[in-house]
Amino acid sequence: MNTLSEIETDVESLPLPQQQALFTFLAARLDHAIDNGQQRRLRDSHQTRHSVLDVSPAHLGRMLRPLSADDDLLGEMLEGRM
C-alpha cells in the first residue's frame, strides 16, 4: 500500500468490525496529536485555503426538458409569496 487510494480500497475490503477498530485507532491517534500541541503542524501540513474550483461538479441526472424563453423560473419560485 503506497497510495491513499490503495489504502482506501484495502480498508473497504475489511469486515465492518475491523473498519470500526481502525477508525477508533485513527481517531485516538489524532486526538493524541492534537493534545500534544501538534494541531498547528497538522493544520499547516494540509492546504488551508479552499476554492469553489476545488469542488467537483454535481451530477443531478438527465435534463427532463430544455429550458425555453417561456420558462419563468423566478416567477414560479416566488409564486404565492406576495
The residue segments making up the domain with residue 27 are 17-45
**Of all helices (H) and strands (E), which one includes residue 53?**
none
How much is the pTM? 0.40
Residue 36 resides in a domain: yes
Residue 40 resides in a domain: yes
Secondary structure, 3-state, 16-49: HHHHHHHHHHHHHHHHHHHHCCCHHHHHHCCCCC
Pair 1, 7: CB distance under 8 Å: yes
Residue 26 resides in a domain: yes
Residue 82 resides in a domain: no
Residues 80, 65: Cα–Cα separation, whole Å: 25
Q: What tens-digit pLDDT sequence spans the chain (82 residues)?
A: 578 888 888 989 999 999 899 888 988 888 877 766 655 555 555 556 677 787 888 888 887 888 787 777 787 778 766 5
Residue 8 resides in a domain: no
